[in-house]
């Protein structure tokens, strides 16, 4: 009896029901769905991104390709395509940075932050959607790679593992790009910050062997995450010829790559959540 009265009083005090807020997974799903819809419904984004990727692959394959030596028993196309697809996740990720900056500027994140949902769910949604877009980019570039003559030298299982790892690396970098986008303030500034993908992609083993680089640069190129990740994928898809060229087996590159993957997420996930919470 007393209990009933208490409930009645509460209801009388607030004629409008309070909003509970979406559960974590629902909130993340809604944010992800919105990002994917935006991508799918903006044909210019898809065409420009894909065309740019294809163009660069053709340039490397047919313009520079013939002049690149030092790829040993591995043909240049089999050397290049793994590097191209893996560094492609960086260029795809740049889109995530400017997309997030755009959301900040457009006021969408202000609305999201005024809702009774956890900020980490917003980031999770955004990262999920951007990871799907990265995976899409990886698949497209892989198909184009096959079209220009790339062939797998190892087992099909190894090739599938390479594909999965590439998407995983992309997922890790997406966290970094989301943090950049949140920090930048405007899409233009985000684009500017994203230029650090150029040293990461070009000063690596992605397009040419590092052996001809000057010593100081080779030290950076050999130890930075892209090289480790590219070499993992290259060793998996190139088979014995690749392992001979690289001088090591897959696991030599895989272990540091996975550490980098974990490190990127561990560092940038909390940073991004913190930045969104107070931006």
Residues contributing to the site for another protein (CB under 8 A): 14-23, 26-27, 30, 33-34, 37-38, 41-42, 105-108, 110-117, 278
Least distance to another protein from the beta carbon of 38, Å?
A: 5
Task: Say if residues 85 and 135 touch (Cβ distance below 8 Å).
Answer: no
Q: Which is nearer to another protein, 108 or 203 (CB)?
A: 108
Q: At what angle do helices 225-238 and 215-223 cross, to 10 degrees?
A: 70
Least distance to another protein from the beta carbon of 154, Å?
A: 41
The residues, ordered by sequence, that sit 6+ positions from 35 with a Cβ below 8 Å of its Cβ are 99, 125, 126, 129, 130, 133
Least distance to another protein from the beta carbon of 32, Å?
A: 11
Q: Which is nearer to another protein, 8 or 110 (CB)?
A: 110
Nearest-angstrom CA–CA distance, 101 and 23: 25
Q: Which is nearer to another protein, 2 or 19 (CB)?
A: 19
Task: Say if residues 99 and 106 touch (Cβ distance below 8 Å).
Answer: no
Q: Which is nearer to another protein, 38 or 151 (CB)?
A: 38
Least distance to another protein from the beta carbon of 100, Å?
A: 14
Q: Which is nearer to another protein, 185 or 263 (CB)?
A: 185
| Cβ neighbour number for residue 188 with a 10 Å cutoff | 12
| Closest listed residue to residue 233, CA positions, set 211, 204, 213, 212 | 204
Least distance to another protein from the beta carbon of 131, Å?
A: 20
């Amino acid at each position: 009896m007393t209990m009933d009265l208490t409930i009645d009083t509460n209801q009388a005090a607030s004629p409008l029901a309070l909003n509970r807020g979406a559960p974590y997974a629902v909130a993340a799903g809604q944010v992800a769905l919105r990002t994917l819809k935006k991508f799918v419904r903006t044909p210019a984004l898809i065409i420009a991104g894909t065309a740019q990727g294809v163009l660069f692959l053709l340039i490397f394959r047919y313009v520079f390709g013939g002049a690149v030596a030092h790829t040993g028993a591995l043909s240049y196309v089999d050397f290049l395509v793994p590097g191209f697809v893996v560094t492609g996740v960086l260029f795809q990720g740049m889109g995530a940075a400017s997309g997030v900056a755009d959301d900040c500027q457009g006021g969408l994140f202000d609305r999201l932050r005024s809702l009774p949902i956890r900020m980490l769910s917003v980031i999770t949604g955004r990262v999920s959607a951007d990871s799907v877009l990265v995976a899409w980019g990886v698949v497209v570039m892989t198909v184009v790679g096959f079209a220009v003559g790339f062939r797998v030298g190892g087992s099909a299982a190894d090739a599938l593992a390479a594909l999965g790892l590439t998407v995983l690396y992309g997922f890790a970098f997406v966290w970094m790009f989301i943090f950049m986008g949140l920090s930048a303030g405007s899409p233009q500034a985000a684009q500017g910050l994203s230029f650090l993908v150029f040293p990461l992609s070009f000063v690596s083993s992605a397009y040419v062997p590092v052996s001809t680089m000057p010593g100081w640069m080779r030290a950076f190129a050999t130890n930075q995450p892209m090289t480790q990740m590219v070499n993992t994928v290259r060793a998996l898809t190139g088979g014995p010829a690749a392992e001979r060229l690289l001088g090591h087996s897959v696991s030599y590159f895989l272990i540091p790559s996975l550490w980098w993957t974990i490190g990127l997420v561990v560092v940038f996930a909390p940073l991004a959540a913190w930045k969104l919470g107070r931006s």
